Amino acid sequence: MTVTRFAPSPTGRLHVGNIRTALHNWLLARKAGGRFMLRIDDTDAARSREEYVTAIRADLAWLGIDADGEERQSERLTLYEDAFAALKTAGRVYACYETAQELELKRKIQLGRGLPPIYDRGALALSDAERAAKEAEGIAPHWRFKLDHDEPITWEDGVRGAQKFDAATLSDPVIRRADGSWLYMLPSTVDDLDMGVTDVLRGEDHVSNTAVQIQMFTALNAARGGVQHLPHFAHEALLVGSEGKLSKRLGSLGCDAFRERGVEPSAIVAMLARLGTSLPVEPIAERAALIETFDLSTFGRAPARFDDTELERINAAIVHQMDFVAVSDRLPAGMDEAGWHAIRPNLAHIGEAADWWRLVTGPVQSGEFSDEDRAFLSQAASALQWSEDPWRALTSALKEATGRKGKALFLPLRRALTGMDHGPDMGELLPLIGESEARARLENAAAD
């Protein structure tokens, strides 16, 4: 069974890049009939906040991204200890004693010599006595995973194709801090093994992490004597802003910002589902259609451009598809299905419905009219006869009686009845205004 996961750290709110990653993993799992897991990466106790855990769950629920299970790294620490012990026994982790300042100096020296700034494995050259002396000085070690330099690291990436890394060009990653806390690499690998994750889909900024973790998977499988397990990896292009550069703004654009703007969750999903693929971004509200067409082979290598204007276009089109039942609890008092149907085509956001509904409930300011138009409106008030289609009946009668047509016929009537030069279809709006109110508005406009 396909198992994917979304693994946010609860150190802040989800932003649009996180949301896209979660959505794509959800789509991948749903298309395969598999499971989508939420994993809260909260091993950083100093920065993790419970309110962010709650917010992550709420944001995913608002977007309709439902998880089939949840794990928290803070509750899995024993698993990491066991894995660490196994790797230590196998000689794949080692203690290091350099300070941050010493490591930075090494990097500067290497760069000055035109060498890649990777860790020189100086800690491996320490004798037992030297290590004991450092610990006697009160220097607690941090721990690195020892990469195997003998074999190239290769995998077939679901987006990037064949990948190959020379392990000797990578630093042995720090997996545990001197205070005993964990960094990302080892817990993530342990969890993917333990949770049976089959597909890891994430941003291209994790490509080198994947190279390292592939060796961790192999080492853990060997240390445990278990069946070889290695997920399929895919790395999608990162989001950029409409200006074509990585945007700090995208890092703060989250569900709260979307909600404040009145953006529908289905519009966000429709846009992000296909952003960065060869498929057209369309206002598709049905999740089944997005699931069916989701395919990693459509993903490109070019940065995926997030454009607010495009999101607004998608949102308006989504709103225009929504039926009354789906929005009734968000509409102004008194607006029924006929009112929604009349006003819906003019909306970019559902929150604008109240402004348009005032055209029905009034009052309206019709503005100033010429003497000729006032006489025309007085004639319209007298000619108004209620029927199944009062607008058509009124305009037909006035056209025959006055010879007016086009703008000269329709615009004064719209202004008198709504106070606007544009808006909902008058054939739908006039029955909502009602006969007596419509006649009163025409008479008032004629008298002003």
Tell me if 220 sits within 8 A of 93, measured CB to CB: no
Tell me if 47 sits within 8 A of 17, measured CB to CB: no
Q: Catalogue all structural domains in the chain, each as residue range(s) with its CATH number.
A: 3-236 (3.40.50.620), 324-360 (no CATH), 362-447 (1.10.10.350)
List beta partners, residue 40.
72
Cα distance between the two ends of the chain: 74
pLDDT of residue 248: 67
**CA nearest to 254, candidates 242, 272, 237:** 272
**3-state SS, residue 94:** strand
**CA nearest to 59, candidates 13, 11, 12:** 13
Fill in the DSSP letter of residue 101. H
Would you list which residues are annotated within the binding site for ATP? 248
Distance (Å, whole) CA 6 – CA 40: 8
pLDDT of residue 251: 74
Distance (Å, whole) CA 203 – CA 21: 8
Would you list which residues are annotated within the binding site? 248
Distance (Å, whole) CA 251 – CA 246: 9
pLDDT string in tens for the chain (448-residue length):
999 999 999 999 999 999 999 999 999 999 999 999 999 999 998 999 999 999 999 999 999 999 999 999 999 999 999 999 999 999 999 999 999 999 999 999 999 999 899 999 999 999 999 999 999 999 999 999 999 999 899 999 999 999 999 999 999 999 999 999 999 999 999 999 999 999 999 999 999 999 999 999 999 988 877 667 899 999 999 999 877 666 667 777 899 999 999 999 999 999 999 999 999 999 999 999 999 999 999 999 999 999 999 999 999 999 999 999 999 999 999 999 999 999 999 999 999 999 999 999 999 998 899 999 999 999 999 999 999 999 999 999 999 999 999 999 999 999 999 999 999 999 999 999 999 999 999 999 999 7
Amino acid present at 68: D
Q: How many Cα atoms within 13 Å fall on the side-chain side of residue 349?
A: 13
Tell me if 304 sits within 8 A of 238, measured CB to CB: yes
Residues near 157 by Cβ (< 8 Å), separated by ≥ 6? 163, 207, 233, 234, 235
**CA nearest to 256, candidates 75, 63, 385:** 63
